[in-house]
Structures are given as C-alpha cells and as structure tokens.
Amino acid sequence: MRDVTLILDAVGKGQAGAMDELLSLVYDELRRLASHKMAGLAAGQTLQPTALVHEAWLRLAGREEPKFEDRRHFFAAAAEAMRHILIDNARKKATQRRGEGQRPTDLDQVDVASPSASPQLLDLNDALNKLAMERPLEAEVVKLRFFVGTTIEEAAEILGISPRTAKNYWAHAKAWLYQEITAGG
C-alpha cells in the first residue's frame, strides 16, 4: 500500500513513467476485481473483465493531469470509471427504459454486463445518483461493492472506515436503493 501511495504522489507531480509503474502495481488487483464481478457471465459477452480494466485505465490515465490523493481516491476513481463503462454498455443494449412486469432484483445477484440486466442497471444508476446526493459515502460503498466487486473489508479499507460501518452502509444503501427502484424513481 505504501508503494501505491508513493507512486500516486509521483503521478500527481507528473513524473515520467509513474503512470506505467502505477499500472504494474494495481493491474492485478483491478483485474481480479473485474473478474470477480463478471465471473458468472456467459461466454461471448461483449464486455470482458480485461476490457473493463483497460477501458477504466484509459479513462483514469487519459485525464489531463491525473492526480490521486491516495489509494482510497484512486480506487474510488477506478470504481467510478468502471461504473460509467458498465452503465454506457447497458445503455447501448437497452431497447426500452422500463420493462412491463419486471421484478425487483437483489443487487448481489445481478450480472451487470448481461443484456437482461441492462434495464435494472440503468435504474440502479439513476437511484445511485440520488443516493450520492443524500449519502455520498454510502454511494461509494455501493460503487466499490457492486461495480468493482470489492468485499466489505476491502471497501472499508479503501474508504478509510471500519468494516462494521461499511457493512451498515451497504445494508442501508441496498434497502434505500431497493425502495427507490421499486417506487419507480
């Protein structure tokens, strides 16, 4: 973790080669997180874990002057980048905004890149944006858990909170999002 923090500082200072060094340190972790989240998807999906990590990296590294305060900030930015990629992918696949007869879906059971999950993913994104305005830290827990695939403990570490707090935020956020989605926004 110390190495990541030092390299993030070098990235912020614009040191040559720092972004490449950062990628070599975090790539395996980002790949593992993406693979974990997308493990249940059928073969032949248009978005694979490697593609998700690479696209997220391009968005992070492609900033005018990428600056990350610390490991927490970097992984929050990575989660946000992955979220936007998955939402963009779902929007492309969606043919209608809300389907007739759809049932609420447990957030832990959604395969985020499957075509049938697209309408639920878009609904989740809308609700998550509302949650972020009211409870930003809870929204960050959801982004890390749902879009990046971190465990409660990993999310807590990244956000600098206790695992118990992260678990409480996750439980509240799931209930809040369920209510928001089933109420129709």
Residue 95's pLDDT band, with cuts at 50, 70 and 90, is very low
Q: Residue 31, Cα to own-chain centre: how many angstroms?
A: 13
CA 172/CA 168 separation, integer angstroms:
6
| Total number of domains in the chain | 1
* pLDDT for 16: 82
Closest CA to 40 of 143, 113, 147: 113
Residue 115's pLDDT band, with cuts at 50, 70 and 90, is very low
Question: Is pLDDT of 151 > 60?
Answer: yes
Instruction: Give the mean model confidence (pLDDT) for residues 142-150.
Output: 84
Question: Is pLDDT of 185 > 50?
Answer: yes
| Complete DSSP assignment for 119-180 | HHHHHHHHHHHHHHHH-HHHHHHHIIIIII---HHHHHHHHTS-HHHHHHHHHHHHHHHHHH
Contact predicate 29/78, CB 8 Å: no
Sign of CA dihedral 10, 16, 19, 25: negative
Question: Is pLDDT of 165 > 90?
Answer: yes
Q: Residue 64 phi/psi, 5° resolution?
A: -50, -55
Instruction: Give the mean model confidence (pLDDT) for residues 16-38.
Output: 80
* pLDDT for 82: 82
Residue 65's identity, in one-letter code, is E
SS3 at position 8? helix
Domain of residue 81 covers 2-182
Average pLDDT of the chain to the nearest whole number: 78
* pLDDT for 108: 57
CA 163/CA 66 separation, integer angstroms:
29
Q: Could you tell me the two tokens for 33?
A: 């997180």
Instruction: Give the mean model confidence (pLDDT) for residues 99-121.
Output: 54
Give the pLDDT confidence of 74-92 residue by residue, as tens digits.
888 888 888 888 778 777 7
Question: Is pLDDT of 110 > 70?
Answer: no
The model's pTM: 0.58
Question: Is pLDDT of 26 > 60?
Answer: yes
Per the listing, tokens 């996750």 go with 170
CA 109/CA 112 separation, integer angstroms:
9
